[in-house]
Amino acid sequence: MSEGPAQSLSDAERAFAKRAVRRKRVFRTLSMVNIAAAGLLAVAYGYERMLDPTFAIMPRAIIVLLILLAARQNLRQYRYAAILEKLIRPE
């Protein structure tokens, strides 16, 4: 088996990998933006809670958690795209 993994990809798989590689920077940027948004929301909700002790924090904490999970997924996509780039580069 002298051929590398890149040669065993079908045309559809290669096209998919190339699209993912092209969006690699987008995935990283989205991850950073999601982290910043979650941090800002956490600070805003904490400040609101300081002003009003009856402010419901748990529903908002869940929103922050979901944003952080989206950031994690975007970071995972970035890492996969980086690996795909290494696999399909030798053309």
Structural domain boundaries in the chain:
11-88
Mind listing the pLDDT tens digit for each residue in 3-59? 555 467 788 888 898 999 999 999 999 999 999 999 999 999 999 999 999 999 999
Q: List, for residues 50-68, the tens digit of each pLDDT value.
A: 999 999 999 999 999 999 9
Core vs surface per residue 26-53: b (16+ CB within 10 A) or e: ebbebbeebbeebeeebeebeeeeeeee
